Amino acid sequence: MWGHAGRQSEREVLQHLVKTFNTNQDSVEIELTLLPEGSYNSQVQAAALAGDLPHILEFDGPYMYNYVWQGHLLPLDSLISQSVLKNVIPSVLKQGTYREKLYTLGMFDAGLALYGRRSRLEAVGARIPHSPANAWTIEEFDKILKDLADQDPDGQVLDLKMNYRGEWFTFAFMPPLISGGADVINRDSFQSATGSLNSPEAVKVMTYFQSWIHDEKRVDMNVDDYAFVGGRVALSWVGHWEYPRYHQAWGEDLVLIPLPDFEHGSKTGQGSWSWGMTRKCPYPQMAARFIEFLLEDSSIVAMTDANGAVPATYSALEASRQYQKGSPLRLFARQLTEGYAVPRPRTPAYPVITTVFQQAFLDISHGAKIQQVLNRATQEINLDIKDNQGYPMVNHAY
């Protein structure tokens, strides 16, 4: 079994769970190999090409569809019990499903929102929304940034985690596109980005980001990753993983706020690591029992206490001190269970889509002409889909 080597506390929980599963039954013994997170996808892809994948495999969720298309994964639908599946939150099921078959299940999902300083927002008369249903409109959010900037020494009041790299840009900035009526691809057919990524709606959304980052310079580029905890900005657009650090810095002054509504409702990101099994697995029933074991409340709560992520089942959400009703991070759970989360495109073309979108966002943030950038990105995505004949499903021999 391969898993990604996350933070030390996360690794220790996974190692303990594997040991416990092996101790409690004598049919199989699972051997865990942890691979570095930074090179995980490339190592899995190399093993897939060499026909050397393990029996059980952890995936960075959105990359799963490409492995299914290549014929490496076994559907889980008939292997996992219905009682377990009914307990899994919809965002995790949605991420793990491709062409109406379930291939992966995660122990946790991700949260994305705005963290704010209550005192600084109240100083400019901003209301503080607590539900995605009454999120700030984009015009309201834009005015709040201006009002905050007017009271700030350098006018930089928003952290977009521009110091992050890679997948962050798609995870964080694809939801605003969809909130604005655009997308990175047409999700009816998954055959073209034309009219989605280069639409007037996409240009309008990206114009806001270019204004905040490049023109008005309201975004702290955050090279030291200290913009919010150091008090330089009042708002930080980031995920669940920053809560411990932010709460330690600001305590009761910290508020969690849904992302702004760009005219079609507030949307948020989702998707995280999940487990599946390869077609080489000689013991699919036992592999399924192990995945079910990972989805027990005690397993999920131990893991999410270690990594801070959002539990993947309804019962584990209510067992979690951070995410149960009335808890400080409940907004993340509501977003994932009430339909505000948008999965990244469920297509084998995703590795290309995300690479192209990341570069487009960076080009726009540096002041490039938005329509030209989005037209070029659209052409690159369309060309990849054309080169792969639309990514048709292939009946593999094994």
β-bridge pairing 158-159 and 219-220: parallel
CA distance 356 to 238: 21
Q: Give the model's confidence band at 196: pLDDT under 50 very low, under 70 low, under 90 confident, else very high.
A: very high
Question: CB-based contacts of 4: which residues, under 8 Å, 6+ apart?
Answer: 34, 35, 36, 37, 40, 58, 60, 273
What pLDDT sits at residue 398? Answer: 42
What pLDDT sits at residue 394? Answer: 62
- Determine which of 60-69, 169-178, 186-195, 314-323 has the lowest per-residue pLDDT on average: 60-69
Element (H, E) at 276: strand 273-277
Q: Please tell me whether the overall predicted TM-score, pTM, comes out greater than 0.75 for this model.
A: yes
What pLDDT sits at residue 50? Answer: 86
Instruction: List the end-to-end C-alpha distance of the chain, in Å, as a whole number.
Output: 20
* Average pLDDT for 357-376: 98
Q: What string of DSSP letters covers 182-224?
A: --SS-TTTSS--TTTTTSHHHHHHHHHHHIIIIIS--EE--TT
What pLDDT sits at residue 174? Answer: 98
| Contact between 341 and 180 (Cβ < 8 Å) | no
Q: What percent of the chain has pLDDT over 90?
A: 89
**Which amino acid would we find at residue 380?**
E
5 phi and psi angles, rounded to 5 deg? -85, 90
Tokens found for residue 175: 């939801």
**Which amino acid would we find at residue 260?**
P
Name the nearest CA neighbour of 307 among 24, 19, 58. 58
Question: CB-based contacts of 346: which residues, under 8 Å, 6+ apart?
Answer: 62, 65, 95, 97, 98, 190
Q: Give the model's confidence band at 397: pLDDT under 50 very low, under 70 low, under 90 confident, else very high.
A: very low
CA distance 326 to 190: 39
Q: Give the model's confidence band at 396: pLDDT under 50 very low, under 70 low, under 90 confident, else very high.
A: low
pLDDT digits (tens, 9 = 90+) for 267-306: 999 998 999 999 989 999 999 999 999 999 999 999 999 9
Count of residues in the chain: 398
CA distance 103 to 346: 12
